[in-house]
Amino acid sequence: MADCAAGNDWQPLCAEADIDNDQFHEFQLGEEPCFLFRRRGRLFAYRNQCPHLGIPLNWMPERFLDPDNCFLHCANHGALFTPESGDCIAGPCQGDSLTSVPLRITDGTIEARL
């Protein structure tokens, strides 16, 4: 897991070419655990904080998908989230959403900020 400094500055995460479809990369933005992944060619990032109890979604490193590889999954109580929007579509926090993390690509490097 990469450790990045706090603040509003863009933080480099990894090379864009290093993230394949349905591959996840966990990182820290200041004190905030976050994760990045690619879905159908597009990049997304969210804070790793379930809206149900405010705790991380995953129990295993880099594992965020449900068994069918369709939705983001909270391992704690089974909430399911649409990967492209972060909206919870089933589970105890249905109607809430994950908090997205802005991304940009600079010279082939993915950068994020809170």
Binding mask 58-77 for ligand FES (x = CB under 6 A): ----------------x-xx
Nearest alpha-carbon partner for 14 in 36, 30, 33: 36
Residue 83 contacts ligand FES per CB under 6 A: no
Classified as helix, coil or strand, 23 is: coil
Per DSSP, what are the bridge partners of residue 25? 36
Report the residue number, 76 or 82, with the smaller CB distance to ligand FES: 76
Per DSSP, what are the bridge partners of residue 62? none
**Number of residues forming the site for ligand FES (CB under 6 A):** 11
Nearest alpha-carbon partner for 64 in 52, 77, 48, 51: 48
Instruction: Tell the smallest beta-carbon distance from residue 25 to ligand FES (Å).
Output: 21
Instruction: Tell the smallest beta-carbon distance from residue 16 to ligand FES (Å).
Output: 29
Nearest alpha-carbon partner for 53 in 24, 79, 80: 79
> Would you tell me which residues interact with ligand FES (CB under 6 A)?
50, 52-53, 55, 74, 76-77, 79, 91-93
